[in-house]
């Protein structure tokens, strides 16, 4: 096995959401919660075990609602797991729902300042990297326009450009690239290609070609559990085979 240090380690990680039928149930839970439960538990993740070492490039596969995003959000420290133990070593740059922090009334430049600050960068560092961010985004004079005049693709470009300049140890990409045009996707994939030589990459995509190109490992999550992990080719084969066999059944979203 590799001797690189472990950057992400999860031991029987589980996350449950409490679903209430009405706000009244929630109030009852606060006052009488020690006697009985007024909610239904929805286990978004069940008993996830994984170990990601420095330099690993891991693809996370799975159907909509299987728990991929929940897992990434936990790793990024946005939500906390209910059970289990988790270590994350290093700065994480999440390109989850890109541009979530964008303020529509502010210009691109102002949003780079806010986005960088949210990721923990110092103001001076952000200002120093501003020009190179603008160049990566490649949206020209729109940098000085309010975000509300941007197209979806331009927002994605700016958001990706911010994340690129965070100098993260762990880069998390969640189905982000599908919005950009061909040229920009190529630029991002090229950048990720360079990044994965030195950093750790967590990659969620429904494009198996991108997964094959970027990743050295794959984890398939099904219904909140790890169904298979290993080399990308093997996992993709099993995943695609299963997807053929399982129809797009509404019942798999049922909570309990």
Partner 1 sequence: MPLLHIRDGKIVHLRGATTTALMLRFFTAPFESAWRHRDLIAAILRRELQERFKGSIAGWIWAVFAPLLSLATYTIAFSGALQVQARTGEGTKGGYALFIFAGLVAFNFFTEMAYRAPSLLHEYSHFIKQTMFPAEMLAIISTLRAAAYSAIALVCLLIAQCITSGTLSWTVLALPLWFAAFLLFLIGLTWLLSALGAFTRDASYLMMTIAPLLMFMAPVFFPIDSLPEYGRLLMYANPLTGFIDILRDLVVFGVLPRWKVCLWTIFCSMVVFWLGYWFFDKQRDAIADVL
* Contacting positions for partner 1 (CB under 8 A): 17-18, 23, 26, 76-92, 94, 96-97, 100-101, 103, 105-106, 110, 113-114, 117-123, 169
Is the Cβ of residue 163 or residue 218 nearer to partner 1 in the bound state?
163
- Judge contact between 47 and 14, C-beta under 8 A: yes
At residue 162, φ and ψ (nearest 5 deg) are -65, -50
Residues whose CB is less than 8 angstroms from the CB of residue 4 and which lie 6 or more positions away in sequence, other chains included:
53, 54, 55, 56
Is the Cβ of residue 106 or residue 145 nearer to partner 1 in the bound state?
106
To partner 1, the closest distance from the beta carbon of 164 in angstroms equals 16
Is the Cβ of residue 37 or residue 216 nearer to partner 1 in the bound state?
37
- Token pair, residue 177, equals 């690239």
Alpha carbon distance 76, 58 (integer Å): 15
To partner 1, the closest distance from the beta carbon of 42 in angstroms equals 11
Residues whose CB is less than 8 angstroms from the CB of residue 209 and which lie 6 or more positions away in sequence, other chains included:
none
Enclosing H/E stretch for 226: strand 225-230
Is the Cβ of residue 111 or residue 235 nearer to partner 1 in the bound state?
111
Is the Cβ of residue 40 or residue 227 nearer to partner 1 in the bound state?
40
Residue whose tokens read 């599908």: 178
To partner 1, the closest distance from the beta carbon of 248 in angstroms equals 26
- Judge contact between 223 and 64, C-beta under 8 A: no
To partner 1, the closest distance from the beta carbon of 48 in angstroms equals 13
To partner 1, the closest distance from the beta carbon of 221 in angstroms equals 19
Rg (CA), the chain: 20
To partner 1, the closest distance from the beta carbon of 142 in angstroms equals 19
To partner 1, the closest distance from the beta carbon of 238 in angstroms equals 30
Is the Cβ of residue 183 or residue 256 nearer to partner 1 in the bound state?
256
Is the Cβ of residue 101 or residue 185 nearer to partner 1 in the bound state?
101
Residues whose CB is less than 8 angstroms from the CB of residue 240 and which lie 6 or more positions away in sequence, other chains included:
208
End-to-end CA distance of the chain: 39
Alpha carbon distance 234, 216 (integer Å): 11
């Amino acid at each position: 096995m590799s001797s690189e240090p472990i950057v992400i380690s999860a031991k029987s990680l589980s996350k449950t959401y409490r679903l209430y039928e009405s706000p009244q149930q929630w109030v009852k839970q606060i006052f009488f919660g020690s006697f009985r439960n007024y909610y239904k538990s929805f286990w978004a993740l069940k008993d996830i075990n994984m170990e990601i070492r420095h330099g690993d490039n891991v693809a996370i596969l799975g159907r909509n609602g299987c728990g991929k995003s929940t897992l990434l959000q936990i790793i990024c420290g946005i939500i906390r797991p209910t059970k289990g133990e988790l270590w994350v070593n290093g700065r994480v740059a999440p390109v989850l729902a890109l541009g979530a922090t964008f303020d529509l009334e502010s210009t691109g430049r102002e949003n780079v300042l806010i986005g960088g600050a949210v990721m923990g960068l110092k103001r001076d560092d952000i200002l120093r990297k501003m020009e190179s961010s603008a160049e990566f985004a490649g949206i020209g004079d729109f940098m000085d326009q309010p975000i509300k005049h941007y197209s979806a693709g331009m927002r994605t470009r700016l958001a990706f450009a911010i994340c690129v300049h965070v100098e993260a140890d762990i880069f998390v990409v969640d189905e982000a690239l599908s919005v950009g045009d061909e040229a920009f996707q190529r630029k991002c994939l090229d950048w990720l290609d360079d990044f994965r030589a030195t950093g750790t990459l967590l990659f969620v995509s429904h494009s198996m070609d991108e997964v094959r190109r970027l990743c050295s490992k794959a984890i398939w999550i099904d219904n909140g559990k790890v169904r298979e992990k290993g080399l990308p080719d093997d996992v993709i084969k099993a995943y695609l085979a299963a997807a053929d066999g399982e129809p797009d059944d509404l019942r798999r979203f049922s909570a309990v």
